[in-house]
Amino acid sequence: MTSPIDRIRQYHADLTAIRQDIHAHPELGLEEHRTADLVARKLEEWGIEVHRGVGTTGVVGVLRSGNGEGTIGLRADMDALPIVEANDIPYRSRNQGKMHACGHDGHTTMLLGAARYLAQTRNFNGTVNFIFQPGEEGVGGALAMLQDDLFQRFPCNAVYGMHNRPGMPVGRFGIAPGAAMAGGGFFDITLTGKGAHGARPEESIDPVLVACHIGTALQSIVARNVSPRETAVVSVTRILSGDAYNVIPQTATLGGTVRTMSRDTMTLIEQTMRRITDGVAAGFGASAEVDFRLIFAPLVNHPAEFDAVADAAAELVGDANVNRRQAPAQASEDFSFMLERVPGAYINLGNGDCAPVHNHHYDFNDEAIPYGSALFARLVERQLPRGTE
């Protein structure tokens, strides 16, 4: 049987043109109107049933073959980042201040490549749902699709996602068992004290001083509250207060991020942060409000689906080119919310020697397209085999 990689390479140029077109027209999360329309039109061109506007700008394509009851979801993200691109390339971003700096243009294209292949070959028995998700970069796109009854409208026995990995050679894959990516939370702490003249601090309750003490005290959370067996990060990334040299301000704010590999640890950190903040602020006579927001759940690969996608990758490129013990990442990914609803797995594919993601020099490697498309396609063929009608 011809490898899906070889067949997809026959229209690699078409897919490259799609990827570079998406790259040239980046759109931020939940604003992917042009990208979603391009995706929908391509799916319709290939005879795939299309559903638009799922979770605002999301698109779901449905492809059925045979009479099998099995269903698989394949997911790609579509949004760009608010970054000014520094690359000097023909398809450089035409939307100032917006850039595909994480490779979502490539992810969308690879899923389109898999959809085209599967629509042509129909070498499976069941249903495939092609899930093109908006707003992955911290604006709630996965949750928006779930709140729009994604898996009630398009049931899936399993769901799979993929992300490029700079520094990993093209043609290789990597996947972490179990907890693979951290959950991510953002926090803002607002402190209210008593403003005064900078020369008369005795008349004030200085919120800047309170902010400094809280910023230091928050570092004790991981060191003295989280088990050494767990992985967690608490980072205060900004402290804002005051407008003048000779005025003690009335308020101050701290903001930052929390990363954990489990929901329980995230809850522990939030509770401890509130206790420390209230206690320190009260000790100085100030008041405090904590706004803690879970942006990403921890991403946990399910065992059976882990094996399924890793085995499919090994069939395509050889077991030596699939790292099944990849280290977990402290970065976050909102595909995690889908994996909390449906069993599935998330795998990385090599993007070669390039700038890191979220960098203004990053660019997705078009040579990786056939590998990603073929992995999605072969996964479907293995999980929904013909001959089971």
Q: Tell me: do 175 and 316 sit in the same domain.
A: yes
- List, as one string, the DSSP characters of 309-372: HHHHHHHHH-GGGEETTPPPBSS--THHHHHHHS-EEEEEEE--S-PPTTSTT----GGGHHHH
pLDDT < 70 positions in the chain: 1, 388-389
- List, as one string, the DSSP characters of 139-189: S-HHHHHHHTTHHHHS--SEEEEEEEETTSPTT-EE--SSEEE-EEEEEEE
Q: Tell me: do 326 and 286 sit in the same domain.
A: no
First to last CA, the chain: 20
Q: Tell me: do 281 and 320 sit in the same domain.
A: no
Q: Tell me: do 111 and 244 sit in the same domain.
A: no
Q: Tell me: do 117 and 151 sit in the same domain.
A: yes
Q: Tell me: do 43 and 59 sit in the same domain.
A: yes
In a domain, 130, yes or no: yes
Q: What is the pLDDT of residue 1?
A: 64
Residue 175 near residue 79 (C-beta atoms within 8 A): no
Range of the domain at 288: 183-296
In a domain, 147, yes or no: yes
In a domain, 389, yes or no: no
Q: What is the pLDDT of residue 387?
A: 82
Q: What is the pLDDT of residues 97-140, one digit of tens each?
A: 999 999 999 999 999 999 999 999 999 999 999 999 999 999 99
Q: Tell me: do 15 and 131 sit in the same domain.
A: yes
In a domain, 45, yes or no: yes
Q: Tell me: do 171 and 199 sit in the same domain.
A: no
Q: Among 229, 262, 296, which residue terminates a domain?
A: 296
**Angle at the Cα of 103 (from 30 to 110), degrees rounded to 5?**
95
Q: Tell me: do 18 and 85 sit in the same domain.
A: yes
d(CA 141, CA 201) in angstroms, rounded, equals 47
Q: Tell me: do 48 and 162 sit in the same domain.
A: yes
In a domain, 322, yes or no: yes
Q: Among 296, 320, 337, which residue terminates a domain?
A: 296
138 contacts: CB under 8 Å, gap ≥ 6: 29, 184, 295, 296, 334
| CATH value at residue 140 | 3.40.630.10
Total domain count, the chain: 2
| CATH value at residue 267 | 3.30.70.360
Q: Tell me: do 157 and 207 sit in the same domain.
A: no
Q: Tell me: do 12 and 66 sit in the same domain.
A: yes
Q: Among 296, 329, 358, which residue terminates a domain?
A: 296
Q: What is the pLDDT of residue 297?
A: 97
In a domain, 249, yes or no: yes
d(CA 238, CA 232) in angstroms, rounded, equals 19
In a domain, 388, yes or no: no
In a domain, 27, yes or no: yes
